[in-house]
Chains A and B, each alone.
Chain A
Amino acid sequence: MRKTSTLERIRLFGRAGIDAVATLGRATVFLVRALFGRSGAGNPLQLLIKQLYSIGVMSLAIIVVSGVFIGMVLSLQGFNILSDYGSEQAVGQMVALTLLRELGPVVTALLFAGRAGSALTAEIGNMKSTEQLSSLEMIGVDPLKYIVAPRLWAGFISMPLLAVIFSVVGIWGGAMVAIDWLGVYEGSFWANMQNSVSFREDVLNGVIKSIVFGFVVTWIAVFQGYDCEPTSEGISRATTKTVVYASLAVLGLDFILTALMFGDF
């Protein structure tokens, strides 16, 4: 066993700080190179569509199912609380605002990090460990353009759409519970929602959040895969990092964005 002295620990702490800054720098250069510069090999549209399918369409099931259940739970909980004050008609407004402003973008981003993000990291990490990325480079094809760029764009495009779908099915699930099960009057459920939800304040801000989350989650996932140590242990570590970093980034950014959008500073 190696022993570490206090001085050595301070040195390691400093080293970790320098490494973190260096990684951030590498990730930024990686992003700029993948998104800009000369176009790569292959038909970019075809590559993008393939990734939109595997990142976006394949995530639909988990998003729709989670959306329905979260909408139903929100409605149920909201009804119980609001009925104490005799204002159960406001349950539609509550479900819609909660989903559009917060839960839609945030929960979608967390699920997206778990479903698509981890898959992206593992896939690219595996390509690295089986020398497929090196092999592309030696064939004269830039893997940043051919492998990374279509996945980044697919993530940026899919995530806001998934968040919108999540909110829509969530509201639908909420309506189902409130109207069909708990007996809230249908007219006031929808009318209250329509009166209180503003397109710019609520819908658009939610979409902006989901665009930011989509960008961050996909960037982290793809970079972790590309930068991982090309061993099975390295890939598993990178996949874990993707889910942890992406979830923390989403929750942290959500606070900042909410403060900027609704904070009234």
Chain B
Amino acid sequence: MSAEQQYAVELKNLSFQRGDREIFKNIDICIPRGKVTGIMGPSGCGKTTLLRLIGAQLRPSKGEVWVNGLNLPSLSRSELFDMRKQMGVLFQSGALFTDLDVFENVAFPLRVHTQLPDEMIRDIVLMKLQAVGLRGALELMPDELSGGMKRRVALARAIALDPQILMYDEPFVGQDPIAMGVLVRLIRLLSDALGITSIVVSHDLAETASIADYIYLVGDTKVLGQGTPDELMNSDDPRVRQFMQGIPDGPVPFHYPAAGYRDDLLGGR
């Protein structure tokens, strides 16, 4: 298997800056095809930014982003929009179109990108909704759905065009245990049954570790560690260990950088 086939997404020597702040510095990440890859790291370390870089919604300040053999920063705007048909993203909020009902939300990508007749679109939408267990909710509007249901409808919409790559942005945040269990099962199922390459961005350790085949731990502008969930759990690197075991203070400090406590308290006197 060539490298191009083996990896669905490759970030090579990638750097990204927002204003003066460096978010990533010369990172290399390879996402294996057909597997579930977790991208983990503390809040604010740029995990969602990483997803936006892979989706080419942001341009890197340096480096290459290869998706299915195409270097995204070199593509034109219309080529990018064409390429994105191969990708699906499950946004943190679900991002359903609020003026369309559940059926039309899932049908949307089919309507805009295919010339399929209405009956066929209906069948496909029903199949996708059946897969996420919400076939009965097809006439509801997004504001009538619970948070977990919204995310499942969004998932049905994301898989409407049968994408090769599916990205999940913090899929487990704010979910009750049942909804969380459903999502975990769905992500694994979609990957195993359809061979979709899944990228799960999350800081929920247990859930991500339970479904991911491989995990990248990012933070402090670089990749701190990578490996299978077991390898990372048993890592000797203190920064990896602090994150994986949830230790409050360590290489990632508990305190935001500040002047001395004593000076600060007595400074005003």
Contact = CB atoms under 8 A, between A and B. Distances in A.
Contact of A42 (B57, B81, B111): B111
A138 interface: yes
B98 A139 contact: no
B188 interface: no
B87 interface: yes
Given A41-B112, A42-B112, A139-B112, A134 B98 contact: no
A23 interface: no
Interface residues of B, number: 27
Interface in B31-90: 52, 55, 57, 77-78, 81-85, 87-89
B82 A140 contact: yes
A132 interface: yes
Interface string B178-204: 000000000000000000000000000
B39 to A, nearest CB: 17
A179 B92 CA distance: 64
A180 interface: no
A132 B112 contact: no
A37 B78 CA distance: 9
B79 to A, nearest CB: 11
Interface string B125-143: 0000000000000000000
Interface in A111-132: 130-132
B55 A139 contact: no
B97 A132 contact: yes
A88 interface: no
Contacts of A80: none
Which one of A33, A38, A42, A137 has the highest number of Cβ atoms from chain B below 10 Å of its Cβ?
Answer: A137
A135 interface: yes
- Kindly state the interface size class of chain A when it binds its partner: 10 to 19
A131 B91 contact: yes
A142 B52 CA distance: 16
B81 A142 contact: yes
Contacts of B255: none
Given A38-B78, A140-B81, A141-B81, A135 B95 contact: yes
B147 interface: no
A41 B89 contact: no
Interface of chain B, main secondary structure? helix
Contacts of B112: 41-42, 139-141
Most chain A CB within a 10 A radius of its CB, from B55, B78, B91 = B91
B113 A130 contact: no
B92 A131 contact: yes
B264 to A, nearest CB: 14
B226 interface: no
B87 A138 contact: yes
Contacts of A135: 89, 91, 95, 97, 154
B221 interface: no
A224 B97 CA distance: 20
Nearest to A137: B57
Contacts of A134: 52, 57, 89, 91, 95
B89 to A, nearest CB: 4
A214 B154 CA distance: 36
Contact of B113 (A132, A138, A140, A142): A140
B109 interface: yes
Interface string A136-178: 0111111000000000000000000000000000000000000
Contact of A139 (B57, B83, B84): B84
A137 B51 CA distance: 13
B94 to A, nearest CB: 8
B235 interface: no
A132 B100 CA distance: 12
Contact of B108 (A33, A131, A139, A142): A139
Interface of B: 52, 55, 57, 77-78, 81-85, 87-89, 91-93, 95-98, 108-109, 111-113, 154, 157
7 contacts: A131-B92, A134-B57, A135-B91, A139-B109, A140-B81, A140-B112, A141-B81
